[in-house]
Amino acid sequence: MTTLYGDLATWWPLLSAVEDYEEEAAFFTDLLLRSGARKGASLLELGAGGGNNAFHMKSSFGSMTLTDLSAGMLGVSQALNPDCEHLQGDMRTLRLGRQFDVVFVHDAVEYMTTVVDLRQAITTAWTHCVPGGCALFVPDHVRETFEPYTSHGGHDGAGRGLRYLEWVYDPDPDDTACTVEYVCVLREDGKPTRVELEQHRCGVFPRDTWLGLLREIGFEPDIVTDNFERELFLARRPG
Ligand SMILES: C[S@@+](CC[C@H](N)C(=O)[O-])C[C@H]1O[C@@H](n2cnc3c(N)ncnc32)[C@H](O)[C@@H]1O
């Protein structure tokens, strides 16, 4: 468990604010409804984090079950989405014993850094998807479009504020992962300002790896490009 999603989880809304997700969440909702999910469908999210997408999507779905590896992140989402079910679990091994009309996996899928991990996460999505339903995977990159970049941001809250620098680069283009460095500056009233430095490994897979795994497991996948130039994998489970 990283500090960002562990000890620092309560800072998440100041790193990644819910209002910043409105546009992409509307795109995902529209895509899922146009792809056959009925209004009122059940949705399972794997790696829901702070629940920012869920906040904007939940009014279009009948029920949302939000899962994540981190209890702290689930607590943040619970405060934002008290009307959703929250369950702790690893997307590689989670087995709830029930199925959903839609399985949604946003940027948390980036934490799958090997083909073995990615196959396990797709298998979890398949296992929880009803025949005739679909799964939507939203990786930040595929190998073919990966570019190193640096970004920064942050927000102020009650008595505290956070600013971050994110530096994404790929030390070895021949493997299936890149490196993300986070520098977070945390300011709280009455306390010394502190800096947290954290390195994450994130997956970068070629399109054919995605498509091959999805087909191997039984999905019928399509690639859809969103407004942020990301390639999304929309995968139907045959009925
Ligand atoms: C960038 S955050 C997700 C933010 C989310 N999209 C939102 O709307 O707030 C990434 C999340 O992935 C979760 N995560 C990392 N590895 C995971 C795994 N193996 N299974 C489930 N969740 C995982 C982390 O705990 C973290 O909450």
pLDDT digits (tens, 9 = 90+) for 171-198: 999 999 999 999 999 999 999 999 999 9
CB 67 within 8 A of CB 77: no
Give me the mean pLDDT over the 6-31 stretch: 97
Question: Cβ < 6 Å from ligand 1: which residues?
Answer: 5, 21, 46-47, 49-53, 68-70, 73, 90-92, 106-108, 111
CB 185 within 8 A of CB 160: no
Task: Return the residue whose CA atom lies nearest to atom 18 of ligand 1.
Answer: 90
Say which residues have a Cβ less than 8 Å from residue 177's Cβ, sequence separation at least 6: 113, 114, 201, 202, 203, 204
From the alpha carbon of 55, which atom of ligand 1 is closest? Answer: 8
**d(Cα 125, Cα 104) in Å, to the nearest integer?**
8
Read off the pLDDT of residues 113-159 as tens digits, 9 standing for 90 and up. Answer: 999 999 999 999 999 999 999 999 999 999 999 999 999 999 999 99
Q: Find the helix packing angle between 207-217 and 115-127, rounded to 10°.
A: 40
Task: Give me the sheet containing 194-203, strands edge to edge.
Answer: 149-157, 160-169, 177-188, 194-203
- List b or e across 111-142, with b for residues whose CB sees 16 or more CB atoms inside 10 angstroms: bbbeeebbbbbbbbbbebbbeebbbbbbbbbb
- CA 239 to ligand 1 center in whole angstroms: 29
Read off the pLDDT of residues 39-69 as tens digits, 9 standing for 90 and up. Answer: 899 999 999 999 999 999 999 999 999 999 9
User: pLDDT value at position 81?
Assistant: 98
**d(Cα 161, Cα 193) in Å, to the nearest integer?**
10
User: pLDDT value at position 37?
Assistant: 86
User: pLDDT value at position 38?
Assistant: 85
Average pLDDT over the chain reads 97
User: pLDDT value at position 39?
Assistant: 82
- Does this model's pTM top 0.75? My answer is yes
130: its two tokens: 């009803």
User: pLDDT value at position 36?
Assistant: 87
**d(Cα 222, Cα 2) in Å, to the nearest integer?**
32
* Three-class DSSP category at 176: coil
